[in-house]
Amino acid sequence: MEFLRATSWADALSLKAERPGALPIAGGTDVMVEINFDRRRPDALLDLNPVSELAEWHRDGDHVELGAGVVYTRLIDELGADLPGLATASRTVGSPQIRNRGTLGGNLGSASPAGDTHPVLLALGATVSAASVRGARTIAIDDFYVGVKKSALTDDELIRSVRIPLGTGPCHFAKIGTRNAMVIAVCSFAVALDVAARGVRTGIGSAAPTPRRAPDAETFAASELDWSGRTSLDGAVARRFGDLAAAAAVPINDVRGTAAYRRHAVAVMARRSLHWAWEEYRACA
């Protein structure tokens, strides 16, 4: 297996164009598992670690632009206040070692239905900046996940960064696993309020072939929440929101849980996370 080492972003793009079969490697926490278990045997690896641009993030007006190579530990330490939902999801990833190596771009590159950042990125309406030598493009997060562990990236494309709106409103993430740490989600859920637009967005993880939103639950909650009066969340509204979120899930039975349990868990997490988000909004009055 050849090991290609990109020295800059431009170099990474031209190497990927020359060798579309070369598998990008960032933290390697997914790639090395695949190789060690012989699930994948690419003829080349394309190491993105020397590409310093990928490890940067910056604020751009009311957005934050996160390089694909930003690791979870930095998301937690440096962006916990601006992006608390993403930081919460990041805290649940693996162990300290995995959080020190694993990147946001790697989570997206793997596009696992169980990846912990996906529900939050969906709820926040993130966009993914991808590029190849042919040019750059922006992919709305809603269009990014196209199948089980499949993304909208073409063979010659790399993820440059992820753009996330800031300050739209509370965002909460919940995850169920078979233990408290070092666990792949049985299922997960995120909700974000867009206070100015009086909107609600969601993300469901590990309960469908791809991470996905629950549009009916979003529309229902947005119309039922008392945005002006900020009265507390009606229990019946929370329950209906949970039921609609569960109805959007298409879970399977597997070693981590049954489809029935996952549907139930999505309903519970949806109900609770809407409650947390709404209480946070009310507290800011």
Ligand X SMILES: Cc1cc2nc3c(=O)[nH]c(=O)nc-3n(C[C@H](O)[C@H](O)[C@H](O)COP(=O)(O)OP(=O)(O)OC[C@H]3O[C@@H](n4cnc5c(N)ncnc54)[C@H](O)[C@@H]3O)c2cc1C
Return residues touching ligand X (CB under 6 A). Answer: 23-31, 33, 48, 68, 92-94, 98, 101-103, 105-107, 109-110, 115-116, 158-159, 182, 184
Q: Give DSSP secondary structure letters for 16-54.
A: HHH-TTPEEESS-TTHHHHHHTTS---SEEEE-TT-GGG
Sheet holding 23-25, edge to edge: 2-5, 44-47, 23-25
Using the minimum distance from each CB to ligand X, give the nearer residue, 46 or 244. Answer: 46
d(CA 65, CA 52): 15
Token code pair at residue 214: 């629950």
Closest approach, Cβ 229 to ligand X, in A, equals 38
How many helices and strands (H and E) does the chain possess?
10, 13
Residue closer to ligand X (CB basis): 156 or 243: 156
Q: Are strands 150-151 and 145-147 parallel, antiparallel or unpaired?
A: antiparallel
Looking at the Cβ atoms of 85 and 106, the one nearer to ligand X is 106
Q: Between residues 25 and 193, which has the closer beta carbon with respect to ligand X?
A: 25
Q: Reduce the DSSP state of residue 254 to 3 states and report it.
A: strand
Reduced to 3 states, what is the DSSP secondary structure of residue 282? Answer: helix
Least Å distance, CB 10 to ligand X, is 14
Distance CA(236)–CA(220), nearest Å, equals: 12
CB of 4 to ligand X, least distance (A): 12
CB within 8 A of 108, min separation 6: which ones?
68, 115, 117, 118, 121, 128, 144, 151, 159, 162
Nearest distance from C-beta of residue 27 to ligand X, angstroms: 3
* Minimum CB–partner distance for residue 120 and ligand X (Å): 11
69 or 242: CB nearest ligand X: 69
Which residues face 172 on adjacent strands? 191
Give the whole-angstrom CA distance, residue 258 versus residue 168.
Answer: 35
CB 175, CB 268: distance < 8 Å: no
For the CB of residue 231, give the shortest distance to ligand X in the complex, in Å: 36
Give the shortest CB-125-to-ligand X separation in angstroms.
20
Q: Pick the closer one to ligand X by CB: 29 or 210.
A: 29
Closer Cβ to ligand X, 31 or 225, answer by number: 31
